[in-house]
Structure 1
């Protein structure tokens, strides 16, 4: 399957994932646990708009693991004042199972938490996109990148030394956008200078990386320990992308370029096979490319940039 056929095959999946889904705003008064919802949240849970809602009954619509995770993060947010985002599994009142992205902020008055608030969005189609792309990447590479031998050795070592090795790690693939056009326009020597410069910048930015190596023409792979979640990884990589994309000089030429980054997060305990984490990173890179490049996407994270986040008020 060539690149055009691949884009044609995956475009419907992507379009469904980014289509406007049920989304709404919500608020919970911490004094009495009363809830306020906009229509979008009622639709997400399959409830009649403006019907009576009670936190105890709404919690029953969360799957057990999601309910536990949400309650733990909720308690922490109230005590620390720091909001969070979490993807939850729910079962709507209609019986339909859905994925919901919960974004939470904490409102204070006179230094005391008064309310929590935020948004809830149906991301079921988005989750389906990630699953389908990963399956496709395992059977046929989406981008043609390969895990360098140094990475394969490191991943095997992580799997072998689960107790002494990193608890969580990330694989990121950096791809120079429209690299073939750069080669055609400026020549092989200029493209090699650009690739060499990016490799050097990566090594300076990540001196403690588990591995850094070339993963194909104009592409690089990075394996690093990752103490945070997907949002943290995306923030780190987006800052890295901006630093890497400074213009590069080659003789009298100044090369301006952009980068797309796809990444996957894994734990040593949850490690499967090296080709699986590569497939997930490739799927994320493919989504970044479908959005026009010059961006970062993390597997199983938001497909498009989050437009707004809950903040303290």
Structure 2
């Protein structure tokens, strides 16, 4: 291990930390979908080629999940995340070659080495209720860079999400073990039941059992609680399935049938409606219980993961959305445009790309201030989400530049009319200190041609049309309600 840098903790109880990590049984395990999803989300949200979920063992860094990184473990002496676990806040290294801790690290000095690192510590609670740092969620890049404040917050949220997943995994495994062997350990049932009830409350989880002989269903208190039902009457299998929307009901039915007929364990995450009609997200695990070689029941656990699911959804949305206008950002725009081009090539559907450049935006910023400029951008965002655009995808590409992907046949049939409608919608009035200005915009619209081999070709063609339209306006006398082009 390297010596701690200033600001890093040096008083970690290493033996208790390692004992906490060992108790989780995460080291040297196979990949798990939940952790792979968190790492993929980290790479997407923070726009990084490499993302890792790491666990710091005594002499090594074990990589539980990775995107863009092949090794499963590296020596602890060169592990960036070993520094991260010593502090309570994310570690951000904009250029590793300029940081004494990493400049001579072989991960940095090798060809195409890592030049940027950002990591947030992951904790687990030990047997005495003390949070111990066990690893980190991190992103790396081969070029120096920085993180915005929102990205730092997202990294911290991802660490929280990883901690919640580790806690839920541990509780679910313990609860499932208890549910499977409870009837064989009657002598210690009261002690196990106490532990199980604590786990249920902590992890919003419960256990269930369905007899294969008569399909009689048993629920623990936690399952009743998630369903919004009082503890008491045992539900039938049909009653239990009624809590799922139709699309989720099919998934659960198929999984239960395979488990009964083939002995295939299952793990699903699906939509769910409580007895009060509240839409929730639940995780359902089940496997076949066998006694003396005979299958007698299905047993499993049931968990409310609504908050975690909402956080994942929010992070994915923020990764694709421009926060000021509510439109798609450039990364999302390129994905949607590429898919639309593929559909147009395959199916021959019409496709237009409209590029928008605001006229006089600099004048508004200089005259009325950036707050007024932001009001204009928000107004343009509302205009480009208007119902008349029939599901067209609008995006802010940066600054005062926007784009609209149009695949509606009625709109695409008359490009000139579409240009006029979009330009009319860009007239956004803004006022400050009694002074009123009205924004305007120029639109360049291009139809997709099969000869366009890339997004760049399509955008370049539309860009050429846009700036031809702007040049045509030079010297034009504008109407009083519109501004001269900046």
Instruction: Answer whether TM exceeds 0.5 for this pair.
Output: no
Higher relative contact order (CA 8 A, sep 6+): 1
The bucket for the TM-score relative to the shorter chain is 0.3 to 0.5
TM-score by length of 1: 0.41
Larger Rg: 2
